[in-house]
Amino acid sequence: MALALSASEVKAVLAAAPARAPVSRVLMARPDFFAVETAINPWMKDAAGNLHRVNRDLAQAQWAALKAAYETAGLGVEVIEAGEGLADFCFCANQSFPFHDSHGRPGVILSRMKSETRAPEVAYYERWYSRRGWRLHTLSPAVSSFEGMGDAIWHPARRVIFGGIGPRTSEAAWPEVSRIADVPVIPLRLEDPAFYHLDTCLACLNAESALWIEAAFDAPSRQRLKAAFPSLIDISAADAANFACNAHCPDGRHVLLQRGSAATVSELKRRGFEVMEVETGEFLKSGGSVFCLKLELP
């Protein structure tokens, strides 16, 4: 089954899928050229309609602290050097989707970025994978856009992908991703332009639970998520604006998220998660936080 569309199909796919180990390493991209140069999502302008101005030194410090937080949580961190002049390069969840196929071989599907300003980023990641011997895959011309792990999120415990359909990834991507990676996909349609990637409105925690912004999804997608997770934790409007749903739980225990989402932090702690609040305020100016700033490596 390539795509699981009904609640019963979602349950069947998750019951049949092989187990998936916790994430043990991530890739991060240095923010050496980070800036807000064009408004390609609703978060990049201030209330007056002006592009946000970035303090690059502060961004570097926040990035380094996030890297240290991953290392404290026991994950390995690999680093790809910044693409010169590429302002959004540091949001490294977007340029690729790496995976191990059903035979355990490393492969990667290269992204097709929606914005022309971000398209040159992909070549740097292609070279990074190529030098390490990964199998490289590209999607057919029928797929107008696909933005990697911004919209392709693994189930925490099963070899199944949640696939976002919205401003950055076209619906046509998912049958091809499913075939290439040999993995079922649960498609989720995004309805609110403010939540332009799946990783802005869904944060998977463990096999039972996830953070979500319910209003970001259409009705069929909500039903699929309810079938996938017995416990869906609603994010308040205030915490959603603070990118609480761009959190990352790599191991079912540690949750890294933007500092200041008190209600979400309280609920996570109540459920036994070890919360690691980090400051990503400079990156919020570009519409990204923790999940955007790293790429899960299989």
Specify the number of domains making up the chain.
1
In a domain, 156, yes or no: yes
CATH number for position 293: 3.75.10.10
In a domain, 141, yes or no: yes
In a domain, 6, yes or no: no
Residue 19 burial by Cβ neighbours in a 10 Å radius (0-12, 13-18, 19+): exposed
pLDDT of residue 159: 96
Q: What is the DSSP letter of 149?
A: G
126: containing domain: 25-297
In a domain, 13, yes or no: no
CA distance 166 to 191: 7
Give the CA radius of gyration of the chain.
18
Decide if 292 is catalytic. Answer: yes
In a domain, 189, yes or no: yes
pLDDT of residue 228: 98
In a domain, 259, yes or no: yes
User: Is the Cβ–Cβ distance between 253 and 273 less than 8 Å?
Assistant: yes
Decide if 197 is catalytic. Answer: yes
User: Is the Cβ–Cβ distance between 199 and 292 less than 8 Å?
Assistant: yes
pLDDT of residue 1: 57
**Mean pLDDT of residues grouped by 10 in the chain (298 residues)?**
91 96 96 89 86 94 98 98 93 97 91 95 97 97 98 97 97 97 97 95 98 98 98 97 97 98 98 98 95 97
In a domain, 18, yes or no: no
In a domain, 2, yes or no: no
CA distance 183 to 170: 18
pLDDT of residue 39: 81
From 92, 201, 249, 292, active-site residue = 292
User: Is the Cβ–Cβ distance between 42 and 285 less than 8 Å?
Assistant: no
**Structure token pair of residue 78:** 């690999």
From 197, 201, 204, 249, active-site residue = 197
